[in-house]
Amino acid sequence: MTRGSVLPLLLLGLSGALRAHHEDLTVREACKAGFSEEGYTALISPNVVEGEKLLKVKFSSCVDTKGTQYETNSLDFKVRADGTVFATRELKIPSEQVAFTVTARERQSAEQWDAMVRLLVAQTSSSSAHSEHKKGKTVALDPSQLPKDTLLPWPQQHQSSGGLRRQKRDWVIPPINVPENSRGPFPQQLVRIRSDKDNDIPIRYSITGVGADQPPMEVFNIDSMSGRMYVTRPMDREERASYHLRAHAVDMNGNKVENPIDLYIYVIDMNDNRPEFINQVYNGSVDEGSKPGTYVMTVTANDADDSTTANGMVRYRIVTQTPQSPSQNMFTINSETGDIVTVAAGLDREKVQQYTVIVQATDMEGNLNYGLSNTATAIITVTDVNDNPPEFTTSTFAGEVPENRIETVVANLTVMDRDQPHSPNWNAVYRIISGDPSGHFSVRTDPVTNEGMVTVVKAVDYELNRAFMLTVMVSNQAPLASGIQMSFQSTAGVTISVTDVNEAPYFPSNHKLIRLEEGVPAGTALTTFSAVDPDRFMQQAVRYSKLSDPANWLHINTSNGQITTAAVLDRESLYTKNNVYEATFLAADNGIPPASGTGTLQLYLIDINDNAPQLLPKEAQICERPGLNAINITAADADMDPNIGPYVFELPFIPTTVRKNWTITRLNGDYAQLSLRILYLEAGVYDVPIIVTDSGNPPLSNTSVIKVKVCPCDENGDCTTVGAVAAAGLGTGAIVAILICIVILLTMVLLFVVWMKRREKERHTKQLLIDPEDDVRDNILKYDEEGGGEEDQDYDLSQLQQPEAMEHVLSKAPGVRRVDERPVGAEPQYPVRPVVPHPGDIGDFINEGLRAADNDPTAPPYDSLLVFDYEGSGSTAGSVSSLNSSSSGDQDYDYLNDWGPRFKKLADMYGGGEED
């Protein structure tokens, strides 16, 4: 049964097991299991003894070679576990080949592989072969024993009535064996084949197959006429172990004369390859103290020669062992498998940590005289086991610790352990087994030095324990090896002395609470707030002082801590929260250095009726007629229950007008209503006294005055504006006068704003180089003096410019100009003034010029048209009086009055008639 036919059935039946071993199958998929050859051939003698080794098959397993089982379909031949084929009984082999099948099975997967084994009888003569051939029996020939002209005749065919038919049993052409590495000469004849029909017709012979007409080409060739076959070069079995050729016989026309016959050529192995180790250096390990026979490692050497012969059968042996301690033969090796195991006891890592073993592999089944050898190095590391318990370096240790100190290392415990450092077999674990019932100490392990650090984890008190006697045991993280007991030195004593330090006094009843009534007089003794000094073995005095007293109400005696009041205690004070007043005191001793502690005293003040009630609101308003509305009054008291409400509200008997004009009605314990008793009360402000009394024991009363404004009301019961003013105590005349004054004031403010805006507008329309108030040109408004004309004015004529004198402006740097200078560049095109002016033309001319100036991007901030209001005798432009009017006679300038106050002044100047 082939592998392909069995595998689907096995997969179907063992699907569950295959899923459980999915990872293992994944690894096996990368491995290709099977026999090294499809078929094995060996030459044997006719007489075989029982148990004789005939050949060896080689099977590669992807799981474990020890899990492979071999079977055969022959009763005469069996296969051992190492693949050796042997005879089960004494046999006499006839002069023919023996063929049977060898099956290899894996125990885990149940898969199987098959290989064919042929055993060829070595002794057969040509004559006997020919006679056996005539009888139709299988012939086994050894070509190396045949003459060079030995014939291998074609199988005979018999004639029948139905035509030619092949014999039921064909001839079996024995394999042709060719030794490798032959020295020639080449070509070397192997055998001659011929057909019986070559006596009748000429026949041409040829061979095909790998080694003939397929790569490698022309390893073999044949004489087409004689049928002699040759090998043309030396053979290498390691390159190719066998060849399968087919011999053909045709006539001269190429017609087939005989059916092709198979020729098997086997390359006989020579011992021309040394064993080669897979690794030159192998690394293995074994625990110290291991018993003899403990597996260590496996070394493997492969020989390229035929493993079924002695040429490829490798045997192993140990050549040297270093060091040779405690014995020179600490290990042995299985000569066939290469397994190295311990053979002697005494492996001790603390003495020898590593062994170097030289292993030799020799073929020819280990025959050192004829076999080829090679060596490899096996490094065997002795791994550590916990066979050495940790031991303290001394039996006692000592340390010292101040009291009240924690997380302090007080002693270091040193141990010795001969196991491998920084491993679980070496790492120490410490445990306090006695002497510390309260758990003041713990022993931690230093990971670097492996020392035990005795650490204070709970503060110790000198007044309670002056010294500790601890017993500490040490062990390893890993348990001790079997048969190893703890050492006596694994336990040590640790003496720890406690030193006294000055401890701070403390108040036993810290946050002490005292309940008392408020209002106790100054000097009242409250309590003794004393502290305790824990240093019983030190003669020290404790002094007291105040640390925090927000209201400065308390005093403490510095010697004994007695608390007395220094002022009257007031529960309603801002320093009291939730009826509790809190003060903090300090207690300090006179030790070196001094130590101090704090304590808090809380005074819970019980309320007494020491605050009279008050009325709200203090001011209110009401309509002058009753029944429209009333005033709601609320009583409030700084005290607490039961010294507050319900309150009693009443009006006094004096003055009598109060009860005559007003009435008060109690709504509930805290609220009342004040309203008018009479039908009408004149508008005004009235002071209404009200007496309110709380419910304390004894009760307290208070007279509160409410300022009530009585005013006329509208239909909704709300005071009118006039009524509110009237209620303030002013008459109707005064109210009217006030309203008139308000109207006049608003009018004056409006006129002032209008005048300021107009003035601002005028300043923007005509601005000069200097402030308008300092402008010399405003002299025209002065009528109280006359001068001598233009010559009596001290003007700077250089301020004026002429259109033709612009060189100094053009030569200025950009941006350096006066505000009244003419712009540099293109000037706006203003409309030409007509020669004969018309009253309407002047206005049009000015408006058009104004529009042109507004739209001119190069115009200066001030219109240059306004800077020509001065004319002197020294002006190069001449006098405007030289301008001749186109009309003679007087002009009518009354239309200038319609242009505003400035042109009105101009009309008065020109149209006022002749001067006297």
Mean pLDDT per 10-residue segment, the chain (916 residues) = 33 35 44 81 83 86 75 89 89 76 82 85 44 33 42 51 39 77 90 86 93 92 92 91 93 90 90 94 95 95 90 95 93 95 94 96 92 96 94 94 91 94 94 94 95 94 90 94 88 93 84 88 89 78 90 90 90 90 90 86 87 88 78 87 86 86 86 86 88 87 89 78 57 71 91 87 60 49 51 51 45 45 48 52 76 69 50 51 47 68 70 49
Tell me the residue type at 51: G
| Inter-residue contact 436 to 532 (CB < 8 Å) | no
Residue 891: the pLDDT is 64
Q: What is the DSSP string of 26-94?
A: HHHHTS--EESSSEEEEEE-SEE-TT-EEEE--EE-SS-GGGEEEEES-SSEEE-TTSEEEESS-EE--
Task: Tell me whether strands 396-402 and 491-499 are parallel, antiparallel or unpaired.
Answer: parallel
Residue 734: the pLDDT is 63
How many residues does this entry show for the chain?
916
Residue 814: the pLDDT is 46
Please give the backbone phi and psi of residue 736, each rounded to the nearest 5 degrees, phi first: -60, -45
Element (H, E) at 375: strand 373-383
Give residue for tokens 């499809």. Answer: 38
Q: What is the 3-state secondary structure (H, E, C) of 274-326?
A: CCEECCCEEEEEEECCCCCCCEEEECCEECCCCCCCHHHCCEEEEEEEECCCC
| Inter-residue contact 521 to 547 (CB < 8 Å) | no
| Inter-residue contact 852 to 829 (CB < 8 Å) | yes
Q: What is the model's pTM?
A: 0.46
Residue 14: the pLDDT is 32
Please give the backbone phi and psi of residue 752, each rounded to the nearest 5 degrees, phi first: -65, -40
* Partners of residue 70 on adjacent β-strands: 104
Residue 3: the pLDDT is 37
| Inter-residue contact 136 to 104 (CB < 8 Å) | no
Residue 129: the pLDDT is 34
* Partners of residue 114 on adjacent β-strands: 103
| Inter-residue contact 380 to 340 (CB < 8 Å) | yes
18: left (phi over 0), alpha (psi -120 to 50) or beta: alpha
Spatial CB neighbours of 167, under 8 Å, sequence gap ≥ 6: 136, 155, 156, 157, 158
Buried b (16+ CB within 10 A) or exposed e, 299-334: bbbebbbbbbbbbbbbbbebeebeeeeeeeebbbbe
Spatial CB neighbours of 176, under 8 Å, sequence gap ≥ 6: 143, 190, 191, 263, 264, 265, 266
Residue 452: the pLDDT is 96
Residue 821: the pLDDT is 45
| DSSP classification of residue 537 | T
